[in-house]
Chain A
Amino acid sequence: MISDPSMSLSPHTASSASMPELDEDELLHVSLGPQHPSTHGVFRMNVALDGETVVSLKPVFGYLHRNHEKIAEGVTYLSSMPFTDRLDYICPLTNNWAYAQAVEKLAGIEVPERAEYIRIITAELTRLINHTAFVGFFLGDMGAWGSALMYAFREREKILDLFEDLTGARMMSNYMRFGGCRNDLPDGWAARASVLVNEFPRFLDELENLITGNEILIARTQNIGALPKEVLINGGITGPMLRAAGVAYDIRKAEPYGIYDRFKFRIPLGAVGDCYDRLMIRLLELRESLSILRQALDQLPEGAYIHPKAKIRNFKPPVGEAYARIESPKGELGFYLISDGSAQPFRYRIRPPSLINLTLLEDMCLGLDLADVVLILGSVDIVLGEVDR
């Protein structure tokens, strides 16, 4: 059921006017979550159903709120770096980079070339693990239990082994510093990464073979959850959800950060913007990430992994503010920092793509079945650590 393309942009776009008038008694109110295997974490949706059809859907947030932003005001800038790992905990290295970039913009710190290459290599490897895990979880939402997930995790573990060698931890890396990275690549790491990058397409072929032509997948994911492009942009949707609808907006191309402008890669776009497109977009983005990785590993120069004058102790950025954003695997991840000249930030704000991508959740689910709600939520690709911070 494709959503009505003439939806207005008013805040009441959730067109309850087109729903049949029903008494409250005739509706079934279901609280999906917060403990639920398909809500991708502690996320709750209060759904009102007329039979199987969704009449209203109100998300409830805050079950993983850890007041990260307030804590950051009381500790130094560098002390917040391990906390950024725990935001979008599937992609710690991109969170680290986004925060490091914001502080570098705030303080005017330059990053040496080798560090920029290392950052791009780790960011694209992170994109690989995120999209691979997404495919696994999405198929789990669809009822494939853990089978697809185990295929995905088998490949993810290989990349996590690389991260463990590099940063000391599989996931909570705490790797980026203001002016570069915490340590240099270990001996042989780049060679092992190249081996992995060269073997990854075979896994992708295997995965696509198993899922792309699958009848059940096609029947369940096509034509649900699509919204017009203008509604998506107006709703602040960014990332693969936006590109699945056909909007060619990728921050790596629109506002290149790091040294992304040195690499040749394409931006896959979807046609309809339904859940099927969102899944396929991510598979195509995996291939583009592999292309970037091959180029980056080939061109990796020697040099410093951190700016020689990078200040670790008593780091006090000048008075001012900065907003910096990156294309994280979930969407536009931004950090807005205000410095009052002291060692602690005056204001530390995270622009969470997972939360803002949920703005239009009700609009996408209205009039569809409850089973579709689970898939639509899965296709948004949220991580509660980022939604609630």
Chain B
Amino acid sequence: MTPDLPAILARLRVALPAATLTHLRNPGPSGQDSLLVAPDHLGAVCQFLHDTAELDFDLLSNVTGIDWPEPAQADAVAVPVEGTTPAACGFLEVVYHLYSTALRVGPLVLRARTVDRVNQVHIPSVVAVYRSAELQEREIFDLYGVEFIGHPDLRRILMWDEFLDHPMRKDYVAPDDYQYEPTPHDAVLEKAQQHYTV
């Protein structure tokens, strides 16, 4: 059963008046609206959703990283219900899908955004509330570069440790010194020859 987002938002506003929360509408047919949470209050919001008996969101099912080079695209996918100031520059986003196993409610979609894609890429880790985020946050750190503050073991998980850069970003350029074609020709041959000729 899809959660009643306005009701949950009302509860959160009462319990955490300082938290910045925005209801974002999903323009597509799925009807899965989301809640944008300012990163500073993410831990408190998760703790509240987990601990409140009437909500009982005990299962953090999915943690996803997204790279938005253009903030306008993010607003098109998750439309602010009340007007908000659009972000100034591109950012990285982490989306959480929460479920309540006992009450059969879900998915409750939370979103947290970094300030930019360059050097202010911090988001607090929710591992203290939901252990299931442990490996998934590592993956987002590995592939997107979001730094999760408070994660007990933040290191790469899918790429090897010495790997540089973050492959899932939209502006990632793969290194050209790998061989993916056994008989290179045209542009690939030119690129490959640059490495062979000393």
Contacts and interface: CB of A to CB of B under 8 A. Distances in A.
Interface of A: 9-13, 61-62, 65, 67, 69-70, 105-108, 230-231, 233-238, 247, 249, 254-255, 317-323, 325, 332, 334, 336, 338-341, 346-347, 349, 351, 355-356, 358-360, 388
A347 B167 CA distance: 13
Interface in B56-94: 58-62, 64, 66, 73, 76-78
Interface string B141-180: 0000000000110001111100000011000000000000
Given A323-B109, A338-B66, A106 B29 contact: yes
B101 interface: yes
Nearest to B132: A236
Contact of A319 (B64, B77, B136, B152): B77
Contacts of B136: 356
B19 interface: no
B27 A320 contact: yes
B107 interface: yes
A182 to B, nearest CB: 23
Contact of A9 (B77, B107, B131, B167): B131
Contact of A356 (B26, B127, B135): B135
B32 A323 contact: yes
Contact of A349 (B62, B133, B134, B151): B62
B28 interface: yes
A254 B131 contact: no
Given A346-B73, A347-B66, 11 more contacts: A9-B131, A61-B158, A62-B158, A62-B160, A105-B29, A236-B61, A237-B132, A320-B28, A334-B62, A341-B76, A356-B136
Given A233-B59, A249-B101, A318 B27 contact: yes
Interface in B108-150: 109, 127-128, 130-136
Contacts of B135: 61, 355-356, 358-359
A107 B27 CA distance: 11
A359 B132 CA distance: 7
A334 B26 contact: no
A318 B29 contact: yes
A10 B128 contact: yes
Give the one of B30, B78, B151 with max A CB within 10 A.
B30
Contacts of A70: 167-168
Nearest to B157: A61
A351 B63 CA distance: 8
Contacts of A234: 58, 130-132
Given A105-B30, A319-B27, A347 B64 contact: yes
Contacts of B151: 11
Contacts of B1: 255
A12 B151 CA distance: 11
12 contacts: A9-B131, A61-B135, A65-B158, A69-B168, A106-B29, A107-B29, A230-B58, A320-B30, A323-B109, A338-B66, A338-B77, A349-B64
Contacts, number: 129
B127 A11 contact: yes
B158 A321 contact: no
B134 A108 contact: no
Which of B62, B78, B101 has the largest number of chain A CB atoms within 10 A?
A: B62
B96 to A, nearest CB: 11
Contacts of B97: 323, 334, 336, 351
A356 B29 contact: no
B28 A321 contact: yes
A346 B106 CA distance: 23
A320 B29 contact: yes
Interface centre among B77, B97, B156 (most CB of A within 10 A): B77
Contacts of A321: 26, 28, 30, 32, 77-78
A340 B104 contact: no
A234 B58 CA distance: 6
A340 B66 CA distance: 13
A263 B184 CA distance: 55
A238 to B, nearest CB: 8
B95 interface: yes
Contact of B131 (A334, A336, A360): A360
Nearest to B135: A359
Nearest to A10: B128
B158 A336 contact: no
A255 B3 CA distance: 13
Contacts of A231: 131
Contacts of A254: 101, 104
A347 B111 CA distance: 15
Given A106-B28, A235-B132, A254-B101, A11 B152 contact: yes
A244 B95 CA distance: 29
Given A336-B95, A338-B77, A236 B130 contact: yes
B130 A320 contact: no
B92 to A, nearest CB: 12
A65 B159 CA distance: 8
A331 to B, nearest CB: 10
A332 B32 CA distance: 18
A351 B77 contact: no
A338 B29 CA distance: 12
B167 to A, nearest CB: 6
B158 A356 contact: no
